[in-house]
Structure 1
């Protein structure tokens, strides 16, 4: 393939791409114009409805008589209420509710397991476990040293008491 053929091929490909992009732009403009026309028609219809509603409310806007404010009194504060009657569901509706609830619970469990078994979670748990093991080891060593000090102190006190009794 010669250099002239390569250039000609590249120019042809670019021309086809430009043509495709022009067609895409033209279809986008046509769709946008249709959307604008549809929106303006809907706006005109909404304005007509709003005008009709304003005229209807203006004609029906007769002054309403004002009444004295009503004071509500709680009269059944201590009276026992009957328990609400349970709803009755058809078999299909019950099965649908049961299935939905089961699916939601299963999805939640799967999400929790997936999140719990994620590498980041496992690494964080491993790190925290190592820290806890080290902390427990230090605590055991400190407890052992304290117990040894206490034992040696008791032994010294017992020796001191034995020497005093022997003298």
Structure 2
């Protein structure tokens, strides 16, 4: 029998070193997580204690002084009560709401129809092409001016 290994010794040692390194990283991560959790717990306890102090009624609560009221007006006429608002019947209210909704929907549909009309689309396309040509001419002129 020979003493030859099927796996080179350096590969075995490298794998062992990597395993130890990963274990050290895991321990370090666990330690930092616990430290962060402890710090968060301390902060939470401090905030809760502060909240308790704020919610607690003051220990030196003074009783309110009894205020005497002085009657300055006697026999004045009370202000007349405001007239109640007129009441609209339910059927009339529903009719008004539905009518307004129908008018809004119809005006929206008319606006869409007009905006999507072929004449409008053609006019927009024509204006865009004209603006594009103008911008190209301006860029060319600016380029020629920069070359001079």
| Interval containing the TM-score (normalised by the shorter chain) | 0.3 to 0.5
The alignment's TM-score, normalised by the length of structure 1, stands at: 0.34
Greater relative contact order (Cα < 8 A, sep 6+): 2
